[in-house]
């Protein structure tokens, strides 16, 4: 048993585009021509080609507004009647997209696909783009960003170092020797700074080669080899330009958010804040750890010193739960410390 046939005419409200007043009309389609007539006497108000009109897609609850070639509009008050008439008399079928919109299953599938695409783009596409873009940025940009970031960090989290001058000189000399051994052909630009901090024992690298080690970290580990291992990790971030790559990724995300929400901020002025707030990715930390292993091996330092470092930091964090605003620091929960300890143990075993 079939339902009633769709009527040949459809009752609509007609707006001519020149007045806010509407009038009731009946719409019919005959041989590619759309005809609007008055309900009470059947007088023809206007005719136009079917091809020149814009018909709305069917939605669950959305209004139905037909656009005429001259800017006029037809509004349907009875959505169900419009859909039934359009299905019977309009010479086109709905696309699969329109049909999917009417199904909650289709919407869920589309949402799942969107989340999947965004996840893949964020996890793999964005880092690839960042690596490519960073390679095109002159190193002078890294240096300028690093100076600006250090100036702002010094004004908030850091104070001048109180380490004895001879301790600072000894560690710098040892680091210079390690750098010569690790980079016999061409030394990258670098600068080692010591600071007393409000964030406790820590170390971090900024774009352009500036590495900051806190007094608290030097005193806590009390071992020059451990300090060299930590600095080997940080110089890895510098030479691999992780800071710039991270900044590019954040810039892309900021651009997407700006397009979505209309908040166009200045990336350059917020760069130091972004550098401080964003942790390196798992892959960046792994790359820096691998660099630290090669750096220590070039100076005949056992990778086991980094095992000592992480174990010392784990014990310190249990007694002092001080959080750090520096996501770019070596003290990071990703990759997990146990994974990193296993890597350095394995490297020490392979070297023996």
> What pLDDT sits at residue 337?
75
- The average confidence (pLDDT) of the chain is 80
> What pLDDT sits at residue 92?
63
Residue 53 has pLDDT above 70, yes or no: yes
The proportion of the chain whose per-residue pLDDT surpasses 90, expressed as a percent, equals 30
The proportion of the chain whose per-residue pLDDT surpasses 70, expressed as a percent, equals 76
Instruction: Report the 10 Å Cβ neighbour count for 108.
Output: 10
> What pLDDT sits at residue 133?
75
Instruction: Report the 10 Å Cβ neighbour count for 76.
Output: 21
Q: Give the β-pairing of 210-214 and 191-197.
A: parallel
> What pLDDT sits at residue 285?
87
Q: Work out the widest C-alpha separation in the chain, in whole angstroms.
A: 105
Mean pLDDT of 188-217: 91
pLDDT, tens digit (0-9, with 9 covering 90-100), for 300-318? 999 999 999 998 888 887 7
Question: Which pLDDT band holds residue 6 (cuts at 50, 70, 90)?
Answer: low
Q: Please give the Cα distance from 91 to 74 (Å, whole number).
A: 18
Q: Which residue has the higher pLDDT, 95 or 341?
A: 341
> What pLDDT sits at residue 333?
47
Query: What residues contact 170, with CB distance under 8 A and at least 6 apart?
Result: 224
> What pLDDT sits at residue 336?
64
Mean pLDDT of 191-215: 91
Q: Please give the Cα distance from 154 to 50 (Å, whole number).
A: 70
Residue 4 has pLDDT above 90, yes or no: no
Which helix (H) or strand (E) segment holds residue 183: the answer is none
pLDDT, tens digit (0-9, with 9 covering 90-100), for 131-151? 777 778 888 888 888 888 888
Question: Which pLDDT band holds residue 194 (cuts at 50, 70, 90)?
Answer: very high
Quote the strand ranges of the chain, DSSP E: 10-15, 23-30, 33-37, 44-49, 64-67, 73-76, 158-160, 191-197, 203-205, 210-214
> What pLDDT sits at residue 277?
42
Q: Please give the Cα distance from 197 to 210 (Å, whole number).
A: 16
- Which sign, positive or negative, has the C-alpha torsion 71, 72, 77, 82? negative
Q: Which residue has the higher pLDDT, 21 or 161?
A: 161
Q: Please give the Cα distance from 100 to 110 (Å, whole number).
A: 9
> What pLDDT sits at residue 276?
44
pLDDT, tens digit (0-9, with 9 covering 90-100), for 245-298? 877 777 766 666 666 555 545 544 455 444 444 456 778 888 999 999 999 999
Q: Please tell me whether the overall predicted TM-score, pTM, comes out greater than 0.85 for this model.
A: no
pLDDT, tens digit (0-9, with 9 covering 90-100), for 104-132? 677 788 788 878 887 777 667 767 777 77
């Amino acid at each position: 048993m079939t339902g009633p046939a769709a009527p040949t005419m459809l009752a609509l409200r007609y707006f001519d585009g020149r007045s806010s007043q509407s009038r009731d009309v009946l719409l019919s389609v005959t041989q590619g021509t759309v005809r609007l007539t008055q309900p009470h006497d059947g007088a023809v108000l206007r005719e136009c080609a079917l091809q020149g009109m814009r018909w709305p897609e069917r939605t669950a609850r959305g209004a139905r507004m037909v656009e005429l070639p001259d800017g006029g509009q037809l509004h349907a008050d009875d959505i169900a009647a419009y859909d039934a008439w359009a299905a019977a008399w309009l010479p086109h079928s709905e696309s699969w997209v329109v049909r999917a919109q009417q199904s909650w299953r289709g919407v869920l599938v589309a949402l799942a696909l969107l989340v999947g695409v965004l996840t893949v783009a964020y996890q793999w596409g964005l880092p690839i783009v960042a690596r490519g873009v960073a390679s095109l940025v002159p190193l002078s940009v890294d240096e300028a960003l690093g100076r600006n970031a250090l100036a702002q960090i010094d004004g908030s989290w850091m104070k001048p170092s109180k380490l004895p001058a001879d301790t600072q000189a000894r560690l710098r000399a040892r680091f210079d020797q390690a750098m010569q051994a690790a980079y016999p052909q061409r030394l990258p630009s670098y600068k080692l700074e010591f600071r007393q901090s409000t964030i406790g024992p820590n170390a971090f690298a900024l774009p352009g080669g500036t590495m900051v080690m806190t007094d608290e970290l030097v005193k806590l580990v009390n071992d020059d080899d451990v300090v060299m291992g930590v600095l080997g990790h940080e110089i890895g971030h510098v030479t691999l330009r992780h800071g710039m790559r991270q900044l590019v990724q954040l810039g892309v995300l900021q651009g997407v958010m700006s397009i979505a929400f209309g908040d166009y901020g200045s990336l350059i002025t917020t760069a130091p804040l972004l550098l401080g707030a964003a942790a390196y990715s798992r892959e960046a930390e792994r790359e820096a750890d691998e660099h630290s292993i090669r750096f220590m091996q070039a100076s005949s330092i056992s990778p086991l010193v980094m095992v000592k470092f992480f174990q010392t930091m784990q014990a310190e964090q249990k007694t002092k739960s001080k959080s750090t605003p520096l996501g770019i620091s070596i003290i990071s929960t990703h990759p997990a410390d146990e994974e990193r300890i296993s890597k350095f143990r394995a490297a020490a075993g392979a070297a023996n």
